[in-house]
Amino acid sequence: MPQPKSNIGELFSERQSIKDRLAETCTVDEVSIERLKRRFREALRNLALSVAQQAAVYHELACLAGFQGRYHEVISNMNRSKELGMDPIAVGFSSAYLALLNGRVLDARKVIEELKEFVTEENIPLLRAQQAQVGMLGDFMANEIINDDFQREALEVKAVIERLGVSDIEITKRLDAACQLIRSKINHPLIAYKLFAKGEEGILYRFMVKAPASELVALNEQILDVLLERFDNEIDNEISIMVTPWTASYHQISEEAYRVGVS
C-alpha cells in the first residue's frame, strides 16, 4: 500500500534526530538506523513520490550509511541522489561531511575543491569550516570573512607552511592517513575535533574518541607509527595528530548543508 506523503517528512525528521543523538552521545544507534533505512527503502517503492523526493531519500540513506561507517553505501546513495537532480551544493557539502566522518580527508578535499567555485554567500561559513577540517588553510585565508572560530588558528597555520615553503596539501595527506586509521579502530564516526596552531609550536589536530584511556594511548602510538612510516618532510616536525577523550565542547565536524524538507 502506498505510503502517505506526510509520513516522508517524519522520516527526514527522524534521521536528523539520530544525527543529533550521535552528536550528544558519540554513540551509533545501529538498531534505529537500520529500522529507518528500511522505512526509507519502503518509501522508495511508493509510486507517489516525486523525483525530488526520491533524490532526498537517497541523500538521507547516504547520511545514515555514513554514520555507520559504510562508506561504499555513502558513495552509491549520494551518486543516485545526484542523478535524480539533488542540489549539487547540497550533494557536495554532504559528501564532504560524510567523507570527514569516515576519515576520508583527501576525498573531502577533492569535493571541496570542486565545490568552492559554486557556493553562495550564505554557504561560505560552512565552506570555511570544512576547509579548516581538511587542512586547506591557504584557501581558507583567501576568503575575506574574518573573526570566525578558525581565524586565529588559520593565521598560525599559514605562517607555519609559508615558513617551511610547503603546500597545505601536505597537511591533508597526513590527516587522511591518520584519520583513516582512527576510524578503522573505533566504533563511531569522527564527529568532533580541535585545531590548535602557534607559529613556534606547530599545528595540532586533536580528534575526539569515546574509548578507555588505555585504548587512546595505544591508538596514538599507532597514529605516530603510520605517520613516521609514510611521511618524511620538514612539516612532520611541525604537525601533530592525536586522539583525545570525547567531550561535547570540541568543534563538531561540520554538517551537511542540506536539511531535507518535503514540499
The answer on 106 and 30 residing in a single domain is: yes
Q: Single out the residue of 108, 82, 109 nearest to residue 96, CA to CA.
A: 108
- Provide the number of structural domains found in the chain: 2
| Confidence at residue 163, expressed as pLDDT on a 0 to 100 scale | 86
The answer on 156 and 129 residing in a single domain is: no
Query: Model-level pTM?
Result: 0.90
The answer on 22 and 61 residing in a single domain is: yes
Residue-averaged pLDDT of the chain: 88
- Give the domain extent around 208: 149-245
Q: Single out the residue of 77, 90, 83 nearest to residue 126, CA to CA.
A: 90
| Confidence at residue 1, expressed as pLDDT on a 0 to 100 scale | 41
The answer on 15 and 125 residing in a single domain is: yes
Cell matching residue 194: 580541535
pLDDT digits (tens, 9 = 90+) for 68-78: 999 999 999 99
How large is the greatest C-alpha to C-alpha distance in the chain, in angstroms? 66
Report yes or no on 144 lying in a domain.
no
From CA 181, how far away is CA 224, in angstroms rounded?
A: 11
The answer on 76 and 195 residing in a single domain is: no
From CA 23, how far away is CA 34, in angstroms rounded?
A: 18
Mean pLDDT of 33-40: 97
Mean pLDDT of 13-18: 96
Tell me if residue 113 falls in helix, strand or coil: helix
Domain end among 100, 134, 168:
134
Supply the DSSP string of 13-64, one letter for each residue.
HHHHHHHHHHHHH----HHHHHHHHHHHHHHHT-TT--HHHHHHHHHHHHHH
Report yes or no on 60 lying in a domain.
yes
From CA 166, how far away is CA 171, in angstroms rounded?
A: 9
Supply the DSSP string of 91-103, one letter for each residue.
HHHHHHHHHHHTT
Report yes or no on 251 lying in a domain.
no
CATH of the domain at 159: 3.30.70.1350
| Confidence at residue 2, expressed as pLDDT on a 0 to 100 scale | 46
Report yes or no on 21 lying in a domain.
yes
With cut-offs at 50, 70 and 90, classify the pLDDT of residue 121.
Answer: confident
Mean pLDDT of 83-105: 96
From CA 39, how far away is CA 33, in angstroms rounded?
A: 10
| Confidence at residue 202, expressed as pLDDT on a 0 to 100 scale | 86
pLDDT digits (tens, 9 = 90+) for 192-230: 988 888 767 789 999 999 999 999 999 999 999 999 999
